[in-house]
Amino acid sequence: MTISQPIEPSFRDSVDIMFNRAVALMDLSPGLEEKIRVCNATYTVRFGVRLRGAIHTFTGYRSVHSEHMEPVKGGIRYALNVHQDEVEALAALMTYKCALVEVPYGGSKGGLCIDPRAWDEHEMEQITRRFAYELIKRDMINPAQNVPAPDMGTGEREMAWIADQYARMNTTDINARACVTGKPLNAGGIAGRVEATGRGVQFALREFFRHPEDVAAAHLSGSLDGKRVIVQGLGNVGYHAAKFLSEEDGCKIVGIIERDGALISDTGLDVEAVKAWIAKHGGVTGYPDAQHHADGAAVLEAECDILIPAALEGVINLGNAARISAPLIVEAANGPITAGGDEILRAKGAVIIPDMFANAGGVTVSYFEWVKNLSHIRFGRMERRAEESRHQMLISELERLSADKGLGWTLSPGFKTEYLRGAGELELVRSGLDDTMRTAYQAMREVWHGRDDVHDLRMAAYLVSIGRVASSYRAKGL
Ligand code: NAD
pLDDT digits (tens, 9 = 90+) for 310-366: 999 999 999 999 999 999 999 999 999 999 999 999 999 999 999 999 999 999 999
* Cα–Cα distance, 338 to 343 (Å, whole number): 9
Given a cut of 60, whether residue 1 has pLDDT beyond it is no
Contact 139/63 with Cβ under 8 angstroms?
no
Question: What's the whole-number average pLDDT of the chain?
Answer: 96
Residue 3: predicted pLDDT: 57
Question: Which of these, 366, 438, 459, 446, lies nearest to 98 by C-alpha position?
Answer: 366
- State the catalytic residue, choosing from 73, 97, 109, 243: 109
Conformational region of residue 255, where left means phi above 0, alpha means psi within -120 to 50, and beta covers everything else: beta
Neighbours of 222 (CB within 10 A): 11
3-class DSSP state for residue 437?
A: helix
CA of 272 to the centre of ligand 1 (A): 17
Please tell me the distance between residue 266's alpha carbon and the centre of ligand 1 in angstroms.
24
Distance of CA 237 to the CA centre of its chain: 7
Q: Does 284 contact ligand 1 (Cβ within 6 A)?
A: no
C-beta 259 within 6 A of ligand 1: yes
pLDDT level of residue 4 (50, 70, 90 thresholds) = low
Strand pairing class (72-79; 106-113): parallel
Per-residue pLDDT for 2 more than 70? no
Query: Are the C-beta atoms of residues 170 and 176 closer than 8 Å to each other?
Result: yes
Nearest residue (by CA) to ligand 1, atom 37, is: 151
> Which atom number of ligand 1 is nearest to the Cα of residue 182?
40
Cis amide prior to 336 (ω within 30 degrees): no
pLDDT, tens digit, 9 for 90 and up, residues 166-187: 999 999 999 999 999 999 999 9
Q: Which residues are within 8 A (CB) of 110 and not within 5 positions of it... i.e. 6 or more apart?
A: 60, 61, 62, 63, 74, 75, 76, 77, 87, 135, 140, 148
Probe ligand 1: pick from 86, 90, 151, max atoms within 8 Å of CB? 151
What is the distance in angstroms between the CA of the first residue and the CA of the last residue of the chain? 51
Q: pLDDT-based confidence at 304, cuts 50/70/90?
A: very high
pLDDT tens readout for residues 405-447 = 999 888 898 999 999 999 999 999 999 999 999 999 999 999 9
258 C-beta closer than 6 A to ligand 1: yes
Q: What are phi and psi of 176, to 5 degrees?
A: -50, -40
Question: Could you tell me which residues are beta bridge partners of residue 330?
Answer: 353
Which of 212, 236, 240, 238 has the alpha carbon at shortest distance from 224?
212
Using one digit for the tens of pLDDT, what is the confidence trace for 234-264?
Answer: 999 999 999 999 999 999 999 999 999 999 9
Cβ of 469 below 6 Å from ligand 1: no
Q: What type of residue is 122? A: H
For the chain, list the domains and their CATH numbers: 41-187 (3.40.50.10860), 196-361 (3.40.50.720)
User: Which atom number of ligand 1 is nearest to the Cα of residue 77?
Assistant: 34
311 CA → ligand 1 middle, Å: 4
- pLDDT for 5 equals 67
Cα-flanking dihedrals φ and ψ of residue 256, to 5°? -130, 120
90, 152, 194, best to mutate for ligand 1 pocket (most atoms within 8 Å of CB): 152
- Return d(Cα 74, Cα 335) in angstroms, integer: 15
Q: Quick one: pLDDT at residue 376?
A: 98
pTM, two decimals, is: 0.95
Instruction: Give the pLDDT confidence score for residue 311 in this predicted structure.
Output: 97
Tell me, yes or no, if 227 is annotated catalytic: no
pLDDT above 70: residue 134:
yes
Question: CB 352: neighbour CB atoms within 10 A?
Answer: 23
- Predicted pLDDT at 409: 85
Question: What spacing in Å lies between the alpha carbon of 84 and ligand 1's midpoint?
Answer: 19
Is-contact 16 65, C-beta < 8 A?
no
